[in-house]
């Protein structure tokens, strides 16, 4: 991905980041027939051969009478044996279409009864070919970082992201690998050239020895063919999602500020940034603690991910960030969102797929609240605009029926995250800051380590609010529409110096709409703010001011999710960015062109079209669009500096170094360092830009 798109395309990158927080589930219409209670997993990673060898004992409870147990497992992993509690070998069928393994239960399992199955399996995890998300690498075994993300289904799973479970996970890896997981850590045996030098100390390690066989010995030899291996066990005994393991040749940076046990794990080239990330993470944790009470654990590991996977991932006690997001300038928003999942995901999680916004929407708004705390109102208002765009980018399905969509689709991700966040933003306006904060804190405390529903959240808010909120949740959770306000009014001068009277009507096209709406009246004197209860399509009002009204603005602080020409333009652009991420450049162009139909001078619209032409290597068309972006409305401001940089790259690619140098100098003159623009401009000023060769060219 080119640096300009990676640097400034935050909205599209965010959609991708959500994949780790929006796990793969069965189809919406497939009934969940079992609940996994606990895992006992022993796995060996062999970085040289990219191989994972594992045994997983899965304890589950039948939610209805079962003849077959169906569990999800990454298609790259081959099941070699399945046994029941008595050691009897069972027949397993691999169904690659939905990444599942189906095990016949000869005696069946009645509803409410529990049993365990033990799976032996192995496979090579080196690319995204068998990923549960097409084209996206979620699990990888190799140097220098091995990652087994929960979303990859590297162990047998059911109802991913909803089924809370406990787990004891033992990982064997070369001794120069640090291993990070969730829960209480204990060290097991160390092996040198296949021989154990220490007696296993943990129960899981002892169980591993009892279950030891030729497969285990061979796996250890593959893990470190010319050196030693060690085993680390993580035990998480509370129902949550402790399914992510990250291992690698990490450098450890610790912080114990405020009693927290915070560790930053980076490769050596990122170590210089670790302390600043530790400091930022500490501030964000304490901010969240102030809002929601202490998390279930005071331990947090900030872990570097490679750049070939998602931008971020979370698990109990883990906030993982891709290497390109770790630099001199801390990506505090991405970090804040990822850390927020220690509450909204780890502690409190959705009871079903239609409740998913209680996870990602809550984390997104927590990120926005931290931004408000850090930079003030202006930065927060920009974040609200971004959330409004994401909330209205797709309006085909309401949040209450979001489970009908594919969880990996841009529609699902955009709605659960951004519309979910906007619902909280509007709820804050309705309740007021004090009651809103109390409701959020109480909800988090009372539902710690539990799945929750939207109705439970509504009831918790109603208890604090002191009145019914059915009208609010019906409008925003059960509906897809948003109003577009219009205002008609007449101003009358009142006698005897009493000021002015405004008689008007707010109209919009949603018959069932009901929300309080702010109005800002700019007068010759002071600015006056009023709140109007807007109900139905036409809402009359009457206001009195002392100074003569000059301008009336509806919802000046964006307290209500609403349509406007600016929002329509930005939503078209967001949909186009999502299509670019999917590789559908032709459809992306149509979306960007529809944005220009709304505003032909949109700098952002021209910039995004230029990006598509650049990806297609249509350099002349790209250059024309970058120039149109420079001559447009200048919104957002960063389009100027990055248009100059991109023009410079095009000139370098086409052998026009003098013109390239001039463009880089113009970029530097903007003094806009959005996402490191100045660094890139200076770098290419000193050394010509060279486009990476495609595999076909190599």
Mean pLDDT value across residues 652-679: 93
> Does the residue 97 lie in any domain?
yes
Helix (H) or strand (E) segment spanning residue 46: strand 34-46
> Does the residue 47 lie in any domain?
yes
Judgement on whether residues 498 and 435 belong to the same structural domain of the protein: no
Largest CA distance in the chain: 100
Judgement on whether residues 20 and 73 belong to the same structural domain of the protein: no
Judgement on whether residues 455 and 492 belong to the same structural domain of the protein: no
> Which of the four pLDDT bands, split at 50, 70 and 90, describes residue 30?
low
Question: Which of 554, 572, 604 is at the close of a domain?
Answer: 554
Judgement on whether residues 393 and 453 belong to the same structural domain of the protein: yes
For the four alpha carbons of 299, 372, 635 and 565, in that order, the dihedral sign comes to: positive
Strand order in the sheet with 312-315: 251-255, 261-266, 299-305, 318-322, 312-315
> What distance in Å separates the CA atoms of residue 547 and residue 86, rounded to the nearest whole number?
85
- Whether residue 588 is predicted with pLDDT greater than 60 in this model: the reply is yes
Pairing of strands 145-148, 178-180: unpaired
Please check whether residue 140 is in contact with residue 128, taking contact to mean a CB–CB distance below 8 angstroms.
Answer: no
- Whether residue 261 is predicted with pLDDT greater than 50 in this model: the reply is yes
**C-alpha pair distances (Å), 466 with each of 195, 427, 434, 461:** 67, 14, 13, 8
Contact residues for 147 (Cβ-Cβ < 8 A; gap 6+): 139, 140, 244, 245, 246, 247, 305, 306, 309, 313, 320
For the four alpha carbons of 504, 508, 514 and 515, in that order, the dihedral sign comes to: negative
Q: How far is C-alpha 304 from the geometric centre of its chain's CA atoms?
A: 16
Q: Rounded to the nearest 10 degrees, how much is the dihedral formed by the CA atoms of 566, 570, 575, 580? A: 150
- Whether residue 118 is predicted with pLDDT greater than 90 in this model: the reply is yes
> Which of the four pLDDT bands, split at 50, 70 and 90, describes residue 213?
low
pLDDT in tens, 45-73: 999 999 999 999 999 999 999 999 999 99
CATH number, domain containing residue 97: 2.60.40.1730
Structure tokens at 13: 């990158």
> Does the residue 696 lie in any domain?
no
Beta strands, E only, 446-527: 450-452, 486-494, 499-507, 514-523
Judgement on whether residues 442 and 502 belong to the same structural domain of the protein: no
> Does the residue 578 lie in any domain?
no
DSSP H stretches of helix in 397-513: 410-414, 420-431, 433-446, 454-465, 470-476
Please check whether residue 335 is in contact with residue 276, taking contact to mean a CB–CB distance below 8 angstroms.
Answer: no
Question: Which of 201, 233, 249 is at the close of a domain?
Answer: 249
Place of tokens 């497992």: 73
> Does the residue 568 lie in any domain?
no
pLDDT in tens, 633-644: 998 899 999 999
SS3 686: helix
Judgement on whether residues 197 and 211 belong to the same structural domain of the protein: yes
State which residues form the domain around 544: 486-554
Structure tokens at 528: 């006056």
**C-alpha pair distances (Å), 668 with each of 5, 74, 391, 633, 644:** 18, 47, 35, 20, 9
- Whether residue 409 is predicted with pLDDT greater than 90 in this model: the reply is no
**Looking at residue 214, what is its pLDDT?**
55
Closest CA to 132 of 92, 93, 94, 75: 75
Structure tokens at 114: 């529990």
Judgement on whether residues 372 and 426 belong to the same structural domain of the protein: yes
Rounded to 5 degrees, what are φ and ψ at 347?
Answer: -85, -50
Contact residues for 208 (Cβ-Cβ < 8 A; gap 6+): 42, 170, 188, 200, 216, 231
- Whether residue 279 is predicted with pLDDT greater than 80 in this model: the reply is yes
Beta strands, E only, 227-288: 228-240, 245-248, 251-255, 261-266
**Looking at residue 578, what is its pLDDT?**
84
Structure tokens at 317: 């006690």
Helix (H) or strand (E) segment spanning residue 149: none
What letter would DSSP give residue 4? Answer: H
Mean pLDDT value across residues 408-426: 93
Paired strand residues for 68: 104
Paired strand residues for 304: 321
- Whether residue 217 is predicted with pLDDT greater than 80 in this model: the reply is no
Packing angle, helices 433-446 and 271-292, rounded to 10: 100
Mean pLDDT value across residues 132-157: 94
> Does the residue 694 lie in any domain?
no
pLDDT in tens, 440-464: 999 999 999 999 999 999 999 999 9
**Looking at residue 252, what is its pLDDT?**
96
Rounded to 5 degrees, what are φ and ψ at 468?
Answer: -70, 145
Judgement on whether residues 453 and 501 belong to the same structural domain of the protein: no
> Which of the four pLDDT bands, split at 50, 70 and 90, describes residue 286?
very high
Judgement on whether residues 140 and 245 belong to the same structural domain of the protein: yes
**Looking at residue 447, what is its pLDDT?**
97
SS3 36: strand
Judgement on whether residues 461 and 610 belong to the same structural domain of the protein: no
> What percentage of the chain reaches a pLDDT higher than 70?
89
What's the domain count of the chain? 5
SS3 114: strand
Prior bond of 272 cis (ω within 30°): no
> What distance in Å separates the CA atoms of residue 311 and residue 268, rounded to the nearest whole number?
19
> Does the residue 52 lie in any domain?
yes
Please check whether residue 443 is in contact with residue 383, taking contact to mean a CB–CB distance below 8 angstroms.
Answer: no
CATH number, domain containing residue 315: 1.10.390.10
**Looking at residue 31, what is its pLDDT?**
80
> What distance in Å separates the CA atoms of residue 304 and residue 320, rounded to the nearest whole number?
6
Please check whether residue 387 is in contact with residue 364, taking contact to mean a CB–CB distance below 8 angstroms.
Answer: yes
Pairing of strands 195-196, 184-192: antiparallel
**Looking at residue 586, what is its pLDDT?**
92
> Does the residue 561 lie in any domain?
no
> What distance in Å separates the CA atoms of residue 175 and residue 182, rounded to the nearest whole number?
19
- Whether residue 293 is predicted with pLDDT greater than 80 in this model: the reply is yes
Please check whether residue 613 is in contact with residue 644, taking contact to mean a CB–CB distance below 8 angstroms.
Answer: no
Judgement on whether residues 113 and 191 belong to the same structural domain of the protein: yes
CATH number, domain containing residue 604: 1.25.40.10
Considering the entire predicted model, what is its pTM? 0.86
Structure tokens at 133: 């998300």
Across all residues in the chain, what is the average pLDDT? 89
> Which of the four pLDDT bands, split at 50, 70 and 90, describes residue 378?
confident
> What distance in Å separates the CA atoms of residue 664 and residue 679, rounded to the nearest whole number?
11
Question: Which of 300, 320, 346 is at the close of a domain?
Answer: 346
Judgement on whether residues 521 and 668 belong to the same structural domain of the protein: no
Burial call 306-322: b when 16+ CB within 10 Å, e when fewer: beebbbbbbbbbbbbbb
**C-alpha pair distances (Å), 401 with each of 26, 71, 405, 406, 595:** 15, 25, 8, 12, 28
**C-alpha pair distances (Å), 504 with each of 500, 518, 527, 535:** 13, 14, 18, 14
> Which of the four pLDDT bands, split at 50, 70 and 90, describes residue 2?
very low
**Looking at residue 9, what is its pLDDT?**
40
């Amino acid at each position: 991905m080119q640096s300009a798109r990676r640097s400034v395309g935050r909205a599209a990158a965010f959609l991708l980041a959500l994949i780790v927080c929006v796990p793969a589930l069965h189809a919406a219409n497939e009934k969940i027939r079992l609940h996994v209670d606990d895992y006992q997993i022993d796995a060996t990673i062999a970085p040289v051969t990219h191989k994972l060898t594992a045994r997983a004992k899965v304890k589950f409870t039948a939610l209805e009478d079962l003849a077959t147990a169906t569990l999800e497992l990454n298609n790259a992993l081959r099941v070699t044996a399945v046994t029941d509690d008595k050691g009897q070998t069972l027949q397993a069928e691999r169904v690659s279409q939905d990444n599942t393994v189906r095990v016949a239960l000869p005696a069946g399992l009645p509803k409410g009864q529990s049993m365990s199955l033990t799976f032996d399996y192995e496979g090579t995890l080196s690319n995204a070919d068998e990923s549960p998300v097409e084209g996206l690498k979620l699990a990888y075994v190799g140097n220098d970082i091995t990652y087994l993300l929960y979303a990859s289904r590297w162990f047998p799973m059911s109802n991913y992201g909803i089924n809370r479970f406990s787990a004891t996970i033992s990982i064997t890896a070369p001794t120069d690998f640090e291993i990070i997981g969730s829960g209480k850590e204990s060290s097991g045996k160390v092996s040198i050239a296949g021989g154990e030098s220490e007696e296993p100390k943990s129960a899981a390690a002892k169980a591993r020895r009892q279950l030891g066989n030729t497969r285990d010995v061979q796996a250890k030899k593959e893990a470190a063919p010319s050196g030693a291996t060690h085993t680390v066990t993580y035990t998480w005994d509370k129902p949550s999602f402790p399914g992510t393991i990250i291992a690698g040749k990490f450098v450890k940076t610790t912080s114990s500020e405020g009693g927290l046990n915070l560790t930053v794990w980076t490769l050596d080239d990122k170590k210089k940034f670790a302390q600043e990330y530790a400091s930022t993470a500490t501030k964000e944790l304490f901010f969240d603690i102030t809002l929601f009470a202490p998390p279930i654990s005071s331990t947090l590991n900030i872990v570097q991910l490679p750049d070939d996977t998602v931008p971020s991932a979370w698990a109990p006690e883990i906030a993982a960030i891709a290497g390109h997001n770790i630099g001199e300038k801390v990506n505090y928003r991405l970090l804040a969102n990822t850390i927020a999942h220690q509450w909204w995901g780890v502690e409190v999680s959705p009871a079903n797929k239609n409740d998913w916004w209680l996870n990602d929407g809550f984390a997104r708004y927590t990120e926005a609240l931290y931004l408000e705390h850090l930079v003030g109102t202006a930065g927060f208002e920009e974040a609200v605009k971004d959330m409004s765009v994401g909330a209205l980018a797709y309006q085909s399905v309401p949040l209450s029926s979001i489970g009908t969509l594919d969880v990996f689709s841009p529609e699902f991700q955009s709605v659960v995250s951004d519309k979910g966040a906007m619902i909280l933003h509007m709820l804050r306006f309705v309740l007021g800051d004090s009651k809103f904060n109390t409701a959020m804190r109480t909800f988090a405390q009372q539902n710690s380590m539990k799945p929750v529903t939207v109705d439970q959240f509504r009831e918790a808010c109603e208890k604090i609010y002191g009145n019914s909120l059915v009208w609010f949740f019906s409008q925003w959770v059960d509906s897809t529409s948003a109003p577009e306000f219009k205002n008609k009014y007449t101003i009358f001068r009142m006698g005897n110096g009493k000021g002015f009277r405004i008689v008007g009507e707010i109209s919009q096209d949603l018959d069932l709409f009901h929300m309080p709406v702010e109005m800002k009246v700019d007068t010759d004197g002071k600015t006056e703010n009023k709140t109007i209860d807007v109900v139905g399509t036409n809402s009359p009002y009457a206001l009195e001011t002392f100074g003569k009204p000059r301008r009336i603005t509806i919802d000046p602080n964006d307290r209500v999710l609403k349509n406007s020409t600016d929002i329509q333009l930005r939503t078209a652009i967001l949909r186009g960015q999502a299509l670019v991420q999917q590789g559908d450049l032709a459809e992306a162009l149509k979306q960007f062109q529809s944005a220009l139909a709304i505003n032909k001078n949109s700098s952002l619209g021209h910039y995004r079209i230029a990006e598509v032409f650049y990806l297609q290597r249509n350099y002349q068309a790209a250059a024309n669009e970058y120039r149109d972006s420079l001559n447009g409305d200048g919104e957002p401001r960063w389009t100027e500096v990055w248009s100059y940089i991109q023009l410079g790259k095009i000139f370098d690619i086409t052998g026009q170094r003098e013109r390239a140098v001039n463009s880089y100098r113009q970029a530097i003159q903007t003094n806009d360092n959005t996402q490191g623009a100045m660094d890139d401009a200076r770098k290419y000023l000193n050394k010509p830009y060279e486009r990476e060769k495609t595999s076909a060219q190599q």
